[in-house]
Structure 1
């Protein structure tokens, strides 16, 4: 499966010439990629270092939102950030759900993860340089593994993953999708980490290596190189159990919602980081 000839478009020029729009939000993607880079094997770390653009200074997190920045120029990539599932069914099936609005199969975030994983498996082979842009493949894969862990990126079809559900986040008017992309993380940073994302990353990393250490080994498990269907199934369950639950048009979401949903967001960020690292480690053996 190939997603247009994206690799033929100049990579560097796109970085500064498009509007900003984000999935998990800048900090969410930054967190996942920073957590992942801490867990890379020596071989994978070297491959990532070779593929990252020089201006990234070997910091995968610094370019983890690139895929959001370029979707306004790479219009074909927009459907690759999410999956629409049937309303209120609360399950995910690849053959049923992984398609774009025109019904083209494989064009969803799970399909994109499979595609860019396959591309990156060509790293180091003789024809990889001419066939694929592996720098872009790395940045797309890193971003999409983050996206699939945001529950509302595997949300309901009719509300476009809660993008049409207007709510209030405390006093601020938002849509429910944005609450999960940004507001829960931002409020947690302000309230518990002195608005310092690095402190939140440190706290999550500590939990991964201590209280979540046994769970983290299970998160890594995958019978293939990448397992996006597992992550998507978890995502729609979390969307039903936590994101959508108790929310309707015009709901005011305050401490009760924030404090009960914050652990879910932390868990999904941690899972995203652990699984991105595990996927890259399997790709770059």
Structure 2
């Protein structure tokens, strides 16, 4: 029986943003280092309003950040502007982490399989779990296969798509209804749809995922990295525009 497919039925679905799981899962940290770095890099090269900080230092620190939090990601989005002046670099890394994570489809996965963490599969010859495939292994394989193991080249390719084939989609990606600073509920809804259509599909326990899965899912991963970066930049623009307006009115 194809469990994941059945559980994607809207009437039966029980979803979980994996970041919100309790401390029993302390190792769940979202996209791997390369994915988070890509989102942060795309964002910081796209944002138009940013305080005087050293971006290279921010990116270097971001690669080693460890985020351990039980709190609801939506609440973290909502509370971020209130704490931004406390420690700007730390706050930026914190926000970047959560914006990135909600764009990983299996971070809005099923409680029954812990967002794919309990689905053991083989990635080619390597034994792993489905969540790790989406956090790291699709990106790692793409780097080796298409980008000469150079993350900067992969990021450049994604940025090229942002200004080319995805250029007409950017305003839609950035938009949030009611002038909200961020709309994580929408980002999460996209992720659960992608989890059902792509992440869980043909990835039953014990299966071996090879070229067909890799090549058909890589475009999804790269687009989610792009969306995460573009949206993070838009969120930062809104935050700092609002802050500048408040200062001007003071």
**TM class, shorter-chain normalised?**
0.7 to 0.9
Q: Give the match for residue 171 of structure 1.
A: 125
One of 135, 157, 160 as aligned partner of 2:89: 135
RMSD of aligned residue pairs (Cα, Å): 1.9
* Structure 1 residue 135 displacement after superposition: 3.4
Report matched runs for 1:34-73 at 5 Å.
34-41=41-48, 44-47=49-52, 49=53, 58-67=56-65, 69-71=66-68
Alignment partner of 1:216 is 2:170: yes
1:149 paired residue number: 103
Q: CA deviation at 1:226?
A: 1.1
Q: How many residues align?
A: 214
Contact 1:162–1:175 (Cα < 8 Å) also in 2 = yes
* 1:230 is the counterpart of 2:186: yes
| 2:11 matched residue in structure 1 | none
Higher deviation after alignment, 57-66 or 240-249: 57-66
* Cα 1:158/1:117, change in 2 over 3 Å: farther
Summarize the alignment of residues 1-285 of structure 1 with structure 2, pairs less than 5 Å apart. 22-41=29-48, 44-47=49-52, 49=53, 58-67=56-65, 69-71=66-68, 77=69, 79=70, 107-120=71-84, 123=85, 132-222=86-176, 223-285=179-241
Residues 187 and 30 of structure 1: is their aligned pair in 2 closer, same or farther, counting only changes over 3 Å? same
The CA distance in 1 between the partners of 2:28 and 2:106, in whole Å, is 16
Classify 1:176/1:20 alpha carbon distance in 2 versus 1 (closer, same or farther; 3 Å). Answer: closer
Say whether the 8 Å CA contact 2:58–2:89 is kept in structure 1: no
Change in CA separation of 1:61 and 1:108 when aligned onto 2, cut-off 3 Å = same
Provide the TM-score with structure 2 as the length reference: 0.80
**CA shift for structure 1 position 65:** 4.3
Question: With CA pairs under 8 Å and 6+ residues apart, which has the higher RCO, 1 or 2?
Answer: 2
Gaps of 5+ in 2: 1-25, 242-250
Secondary structure class of the residue paired with 2:203? coil
SS at match of 2:51: helix
Distance 1:144 1:270 in 2: 15
Give 1:117 shift: 3.8
| TM-score normalized with structure 1 length | 0.71
Contact 2:29 2:67 in 1 (8 A): no
